[in-house]
Structure 1
Amino acid sequence: MRNGDTPLMDADRFAAYIVRRLSLHDDVIEVRERRGDDLILRVRGNDVTVNLRRLYDAYVKNPDQLDAIMQTIVSAATHDIPARDRRDFASLRERIFPMLKPINLLVFVRERNLPMLVYRPFLADLMITYVVDEARSVAYINEQHLERWGVGEREIHELALRNLRRRTDEQAPYAMIGEGDQRLFIFNSNDGYDATRLLLTDILATWAQHVSGHLVIGIPNRDFLIALGDANPDILRSVAAQIQIDAVQRDYGLTDRLFTLVGGEVREYEMI
């Protein structure tokens, strides 16, 4: 059992669940057939085989990471960007963004001998990856892309943050709800980058000036960020409890850990 009430899926139900979830990506992924433990996909004109047994074993070992496992499948199937030279990089610059992901995604990448993703370790078993935004999906940037484009990780990181800041200003305004110690700040645009806006420390610093106590931030899943002050411990405990639930139950779960801003940098927050 998981979470006290929800039973583990058996292998067949797990496979059916994976197929249903992949249907959300039917613009780039076509499920062709299942052959025993292998799922045959058609991705951008190429056949891709996904071994369900290995994924099911990972799910049984850590059921709470089901959404991370799902995203790993999509990432692995669509990881490659067509071979582009330096001129093509210039055309992609405006579509490169950072994205927070569970760091255990790297295990799957290594096991499948895929090109290593470009990433930076972050906090709470998360990492910063970098993607090219492809309308209804993303393509992860790997080390081979940097070599081909002739750019470094630092340049990609700084470019991705600038693009995220610009996109946030243009398309993803935050909501401010409540007053005093009940004031909340929320990003919930569902553009895939709401949690990653934790990296926009200038926005967090502005929020910190308008809450009671220290700023506390939660990113339970990819499409949600919430921030509040810690002056009222009852309110903070209530929000923290909901973050724990959402990190497990919502799609694209990330972490139930809390964060704060110290000296202009994001740090993990410890409940007292």
Structure 2
Amino acid sequence: MKITTLMMKEKLEACLKGENRTFLFQPDKEQLVVTEQNKKITLQIPQIIHRFEEEGESALQNIVYYVNEGFRAENLVVDLKGHPEKIFPVIRAASFPKSSKQGEKFISTEHTAETAIYYVFDNQHAYRFITEKDINKANFQISDIKKIALHNICKLETTLKKDHVGKNDFYFMRANDGYDASRLLNAPFLEKLKQQFQGEMVLSIPHQDVLIIADIKDDSGYDVLAHMTMQFFAEGFVPITSLPFVYHHGKLEPIFIMAKNRPKE
């Protein structure tokens, strides 16, 4: 039986119910807004249904974790000067909010036309976006935060899972630590891979929890990558972009892949 929006709404409310927690269903947007102590998290029900159909109950368990840790992050104390090792970069869509719902401006830097880099303070189980207020308190500059964050991201493990389709190779980073897409910023890691590739190096960050790196050797590889990217983009809790990037001389160039054709830049 195909699960409906209302059925999933009821499932989510049952899984997420708790003290001081309320729910607001927005049928026109197919969203469920979860509120706890004046903090809100909005869930996109169609995306959750898609993941539920693919993963079953484990998808709901991931949602429960995502919501609980999201609320916990709101109470996280940010100590940039005392714990610089907890500063990391996260990649978000260019349309991602520039400030919190409380009006505090997030720290961010430019990345591509499709994406931007934000910075977070990590506490193992949750992270909180770093704001201008936070860096002023620590007497840091944005350049300091960027340098520290890039240093820390390069220390994370980069174990890849490989898949082979036709003549093309696809590598997947899925450590599920919240920084899979962020490893796109690990320049030495990308350069090392580039030297090993035989075809064109194309990367994709459809959502926060996956990085796809492809060694494209013929036109069919672009079609496969386009399909993968759209599928991951549709099911991600934190979507980033459905456009892949060609990697040239250390730079990323967004491309639009036409079915059965080479990409159009």
Normalised by the size of structure 1, how large is the TM-score? Answer: 0.71
Q: Match for 2:85 among 81, 94, 105?
A: 94
CA RMSD of aligned residues (A): 3.6
How far residue 79 of structure 1 moved from its aligned partner, in angstroms, is 4.3
Aligned to 1:48: 38
How far residue 187 of structure 1 moved from its aligned partner, in angstroms, is 1.1
Aligned to 1:121: 110
Instruction: Tell me the alpha carbon deviations over residues 142-189 of structure 1, each in whole angstroms, 9 at most, x when there is no partner.
Output: 110010000111110111010010123xxx423445599422222111
How far residue 236 of structure 1 moved from its aligned partner, in angstroms, is 2.4
The reply on whether 1:256 has 2:242 as its aligned counterpart is: yes
Aligned to 1:189: 175
Give, as a single letter, the amino acid of the residue that structure 2 aligns with 1:32.
N
Aligned to 1:78: 73
The reply on whether 1:165 has 2:165 as its aligned counterpart is: no
Normalised by the size of structure 2, how large is the TM-score? Answer: 0.72
Consecutive unaligned residues in structure 1, runs of 5 or more: 24-29, 42-46
How far residue 132 of structure 1 moved from its aligned partner, in angstroms, is 1.3
The reply on whether 1:33 has 2:21 as its aligned counterpart is: yes
Q: Match for 1:146 among 103, 120, 135?
A: 135
Equivalents in 2 of 1:173, 1:105: separation in Å?
28
Instruction: Tell me the alpha carbon deviations over residues 87-131 of structure 1, each in whole angstroms, 9 at most, x when there is no partner.
Output: x53321111110112343316x46x33311111233354321111
Equivalents in 1 of 2:89, 2:146: separation in Å?
7
Superposition pairs of residues 177-216 of structure 1, within 5 angstroms: 177-178=163-164, 181-216=167-202
Residues 169 and 216 in structure 2, CA contact (< 8 A), matched pair in contact too: no
Equivalent position SS for 1:90: coil
Residues 75 and 140 in structure 1, CA contact (< 8 A), matched pair in contact too: no
Residues 79 and 140 in structure 1, CA contact (< 8 A), matched pair in contact too: no
Percent of paired sites with the same residue: 17
The structure-2 alpha-carbon separation of the partners of 1:18 and 1:217, relative to structure 1 and needing over 3 Å to count, comes to farther
Aligned to 1:234: 220
Higher normalized helix content (fraction of residues): 1
Give, as a single letter, the amino acid of the residue that structure 1 aligns with 2:159.
P
How far residue 261 of structure 1 moved from its aligned partner, in angstroms, is 1.5
How many corresponding residue pairs?
236
Give, as a single letter, the amino acid of the residue that structure 1 aligns with 2:20.
R
